[in-house]
Structure 1
Amino acid sequence: MVRTRFVEGSAGVRLAVDESGPASGAPSILFVHGLAQGRGSWEDVLRGRLAERHHLVAIDLRGHGDSDKPEGDAPYVDGAHFAGDLAAVIEQLGLLRPVVVAWSYGGVVVGDYLRSHGDDALGGLFFVAAALKTGKPARALFGAGMMSNARGLMSEDGATYEASARAFVEACAAGTLDASRVDASVRAMLRVPVNVRRALLSRAEDYSVELERCRRPVATLHGELDQVVLPAMSREVVLACARAGQGTWLPGVGHVPFLEAVPRFEDALESFVAQAATASS
């Protein structure tokens, strides 16, 4: 059963959180969603077999879903706020060395956390097609699914934004996503205000230094056919982080392996959680 609660994050921003699985005595996994998505991205995972033996937690980032949406740019371009939000979730939910799963733009949020708080409170990092570099210098690491829709994703015009959001969601899969899944993802995107979208897409970041300093186990999982965040991004993570193992590349899979390749995603994550627990003991 999925349970919903709220946590007070940085600067008093209220964050929506879903939990499933054992609330105590089980390894914790914290899921961080991508650009203009929400905790609903992980709904199938939270209701799946990992919940039998793991405490699963998924959050709505500030500006998304049921979390507060402060006005202006500063709450989103200052990475210390995202870092403080993750720290608040870990502390207030009593997560003991959680493995953090960062998908897509979630990599930026985790990079913010590492920059501000280090990795002492973490058990490991599991990057799923995650962006650890953004902005103009990193353009070559993003595919047509992102670049051809970026302008529309920042549009104030509702119809333009909705069309770009749908095109973006459809580009996330190597094949065809179920229509209900596409519709749900588009609805999530329509809840994200334009100031949030523009602020997030304006950021230029490089977390290579933070990855080099990371002392916790790190793994990458990336679809070989990803046209949003190119597989080259995960190769950069592996090169930057001394604790990163060999990256896992999924043939025939795009940007959403937790939807396109559920058993392989669950197996890879469960194996990594076990390895991280051994490394921490």
Structure 2
Amino acid sequence: MRTPFVEGPDGVRLAVSDAGPVSGVPSVLFVHGFAQSRHCWDPVLEGDLARSFRLVALDLRGHGDSDKPEGDAPYVEGIHFADDLHAVIQGLGLERPVVVAWSYGGVLVGDYLRHRGDSALGGLFFVAASLKTGKPARALFGPGMLANARGLLSDQEETYASAARDFLQACAARQVPGAFADESLRDMLRVPPHVRRALLARTEDYSAELERRTCPVTTLHGELDQVVLPAMSSELVLPRVPGARGVSLPGVGHLPFIEARPDFEAALSAFVTSCREALGG
């Protein structure tokens, strides 16, 4: 697996994992969620999909091995995330990638749509993705998020670590696999308080961006998700995107790419292939 850095337009270095053939196949860009890192996608990047597609995952600014600028502006102003995604697409030469956005990653892809449009994208694959945040969206979030939100904002290490553990356990319908839970917790503990507070302070609604986009869309949601409720996909996203397909996975929580990886990969592979065919590839 290739692990380069890409520099964003404001000098922020973004860590990237890049697997699969570099050319001649469709590209997929994975965007992780709140306080996670690109390594949440490692099981997918190290699996069978890398034989057929170029798979790229990045650490968002403020997360993982990417730079963590001080202040609120680099995180509350969505143009920065839009420019970061653009820098990765351009810097790695990704041609019309399908973008996979998980959880809070939906906000950042919403930023991209708002500031950059979708002409450079091949498709959007929303995985339990948040496309609306803040108090107006409270009914779209479950107890796994709401009960832990205060602790996730804490600058007290023990308080934050406890909330992070509870949040991670709430992500799975049954139990988060031990190795994944351990690495995810380490990722969460690397995210500074000012980054966490800035991200969770944002109130956004990307309904208009969804209605304006022209590329294909699929949503995938676990039926038992208690972090981002399935209504986010079924009531917010799908009604605004004619022709979009919704995939619902029974018995699965907020981690479909871990809890039901074969089903996740099958749905993603079919979508990427259909997007490629739609582009005449």
Are the equivalent residues in 2 in contact too, given 1:131–1:233 (CA < 8 A)?
A: yes
1:40 corresponds in structure 2 to 39
Secondary structure of the 1:84 match is: helix
1:141 and 1:74 map into 2 onto residues whose CA distance is: 26
Q: Does 1:180 align with 2:179?
A: yes
**1:6 aligns to what?**
5
Partners of 2:156 and 2:248 in 1: CA distance: 37
1:238 partnered with 2:238: yes
Q: Is the 8 A contact 2:40 2:180 kept in 1?
A: no
Tell me the matched-pair count: 279
Deviation, structure 1 residue 169: 0.6
- Per-residue CA shift, 1:214-236, capped at 9, x if unaligned? 10000000000000000000011
Give me the CA root mean square deviation.
Answer: 0.6
Looking at structure 1, the residues matched to 77 and 176 of structure 2 have their Cα atoms a distance apart, in angstroms, of 34
Over residues 168-215 of structure 1, what are the superposed CA-to-partner deviations in whole Å (9 max), with x where a residue is unaligned? 011000011222211110100000000000000000000000000010
Shift of 1:243: 4.2
Within a 5 Å distance, the mapping from 1:174-213 to structure 2 comes to 174-213=173-212
* 1:120-135 equivalences in 2 (<5 Å): 120-135=119-134
Partner AA of 1:242 in structure 2: P
Counterpart of 2:248 in 1: which secondary structure? strand
Structure 2 distance, partners of 1:95, 1:227, is: 34
* Structure 1, unpaired ranges of 5+: none
Q: Following the alignment from structure 1 to structure 2, what is the Cα–Cα distance between the partners of residues 58 and 86?
A: 11
SS of the aligned residue for 1:65 comes to coil
1:125 partner SS:
strand
Equivalent pair of 1:34/1:105 in contact (CA under 8 Å): yes
For residues 266 and 3 of structure 2, the distance between their equivalents in structure 1, rounded to whole angstroms, comes to 26
Q: Which runs of 4+ in 1 moved over 4 A?
A: none
3-state SS of the aligned residue for 1:29?
A: strand
The aligned counterpart of 1:51 is 50
Report the TM-score, using the length of structure 1 for normalisation: 0.98
Counterpart-to-counterpart distance in 2, 1:127 and 1:180: 25
What amino acid maps onto 1:64 in structure 2? H
Cα distance in 2 for partners of 1:243, 1:202 equals: 33
CA contact (8 A) 1:214 1:243 kept: no
What whole-Å deviation, never above 9, does each CA across 1:59-115 have from its counterpart, x for those lacking one?
000000000000010000000000000000000100000000000000000000000
Question: 2: CA distance between counterparts of 1:267 and 1:145?
Answer: 27
SS in 2 for 1:50: helix
Cross-structure match for 2:170: 171
* SS, match of residue 170 in structure 1: helix
Tell whether 2:20 aligns with 1:21: yes
Percentage of matched positions with identical amino acids: 66
In structure 2, give the amino acid aligned to 1:228.
V
Specify the code of the residue in structure 1 equivalent to 2:253: G
Distance in structure 2 (CA, Å) of the matches to 1:226 and 1:101: 18
Task: Pick which of 103-112 and 177-186 moved more.
Answer: 177-186
Q: Which amino acid aligns with 2:153?
A: M
Please give the alpha-carbon distance, in whole angstroms, between the structure 2 residues aligned to 1:181 and 1:68.
23
**d(CA) in 2 for partners of 1:97, 1:181:** 30
Secondary structure, aligned partner of 2:10: helix
